[in-house]
Homo-oligomer: A and B are copies of this chain.
Amino acid sequence: MAEHQPFKVHQPPEIIVLGPPSVFKVYDKQFSSRFRVLRPWESPLSLPQFLAAGAQNTQAALISGGFRFTSSVLHHLPSIRLVVTTSAGINHIDLVECRRRGIAVANAASIFSADVADLAVGLLLDVLRRISAGNRFVKSGLWPVQGAYPLGFKLGGKKVGIVGLGSIGLYVAKRLEAFGCAISYSSRKEKPSVSYAFYPDICKLAANSDILVICCALTEQTHHMINREVLLALGKEGVLVNIARGAVVDEKELVSCLQNGEISGAGLDVFENEPSVPKELYELDNVVLSPHFAVFTEESMWDLYELMCGNLEAFFSNKPLLSLIPEE
């Protein structure tokens, strides 16, 4: 075929999209102009049937953070050499199996960290200063009828404990320092690069904090780490913010503490069984809930689109990946 090359129509490289991720839905057209996209979710076939029929030579996959990329999926994708996930977390990917098969893994790196930290501060300000509740009060016409609104709480001077001082936690700390908060943190290891007080014990961190902001990854160690004991240590004037993963907190205990005034309020972007949210929280004005949208801004979606394409194109042109997960 070499003699025909000058006339050959350039075929874009083929990728399989699994999930599909939000960023793909937003930038479907742009992705589809740069790659030949296999779309199992549009097919009447089951995923294994689809993969068997059409993906035996596919070398790269773009997957959502919610798609479990297990060894059984890999079994149906014998030619895969790259998987790119649109999430920062990679606990949905069977890394061991990927390593065994020589498959490179790339992720969203810290592209979302600033947006997630911003939402943490936004939720915290909303809880302390009663913004959502005040907005509802004004928009339901109650201001002229009921007059002055209950007092909120000042952010400045508060002791903030950050649980997990990765890139998100560091951004949260930087922002809250500008508001005059005193920062301390817990983490697997003390970070020599920061001067914030370090508490290896999460209960001690809670006991010494007015506010806890959960910024850690969900692992076996962090599952239900924020339990009743930690919440009681935070205390009845304490506020919890969670923008990490729902299951880091024992949600049942959190609901009970909020209902009984054992903590003062909460701002939650994540839940244990999303999109299901404990209905007991619906009526509480001191609890602000958002639909796990901390990473979802127009700007971060565009940045993510570029990073995802950058990884895929680097792979197809044998260049170094932009956000390769290094082998440990």
A324 at the interface (CB under 8 A from B): no
Assess whether B148 is in contact with A22, with CB atoms less than 8 Å apart.
yes
- Report Cα–Cα, A156/B115, bound state, in Å: 8
Shortest Cβ distance from residue A177 to the other chain B in the assembled complex, whole angstroms = 7
**Residue among A135, A136, A157, A279 with the most chain B CB within 10 A?**
A135
Assess whether A118 is in contact with B129, with CB atoms less than 8 Å apart.
yes
Assess whether B275 is in contact with A147, with CB atoms less than 8 Å apart.
yes
Assess whether B151 is in contact with A297, with CB atoms less than 8 Å apart.
yes
Assess whether A178 is in contact with B180, with CB atoms less than 8 Å apart.
no
Assess whether A138 is in contact with B179, with CB atoms less than 8 Å apart.
no
Segment among A119-127, A196-204, A215-223, A226-234 that sits at the interface with chain B: A119-127
- Report Cα–Cα, A268/B159, bound state, in Å: 28
Q: Per DSSP, are chain A's interface residues mostly helix, strand or loop, or mixed? A: helix
Assess whether A138 is in contact with B177, with CB atoms less than 8 Å apart.
no
Assess whether A180 is in contact with B114, with CB atoms less than 8 Å apart.
yes
Shortest Cβ distance from residue A75 to the other chain B in the assembled complex, whole angstroms = 30
A175 at the interface (CB under 8 A from B): yes
> Which residues of A in the span 156-202 have a Cβ within 8 Å of any Cβ on B?
156-157, 174-175, 177-180
A289 at the interface (CB under 8 A from B): yes
What band does the interface of chain A fall in when counting residues whose beta carbon is under 8 Å from B? 35 or more
Assess whether B291 is in contact with A143, with CB atoms less than 8 Å apart.
yes
Segment among A84-92, A99-107, A298-306 that sits at the interface with chain B: A298-306
Interface string of A266-303 (1 = CB under 8 A from B): 00000000111101011000001111010011111100
Question: In the complex, which residue of chain B has the Cβ closest to the Cβ of A288?
Answer: B135
Q: A114-B156, A131-B290 are in contact. List 4 more A-B contacts (CB 8 A).
A: A128-B297, A132-B132, A139-B289, A153-B297
Q: List 7 A-B contacts (CB under 8 A).
A: A130-B290, A131-B132, A134-B291, A139-B282, A148-B293, A153-B298, A154-B300
The residues of A with any CB-CB pair to B shorter than 8 Å are: 22, 26, 114-115, 118-119, 121-123, 125-126, 128-132, 134-141, 143-144, 147-149, 151-157, 174-175, 177-180, 274-277, 279, 281-282, 288-291, 293, 296-301
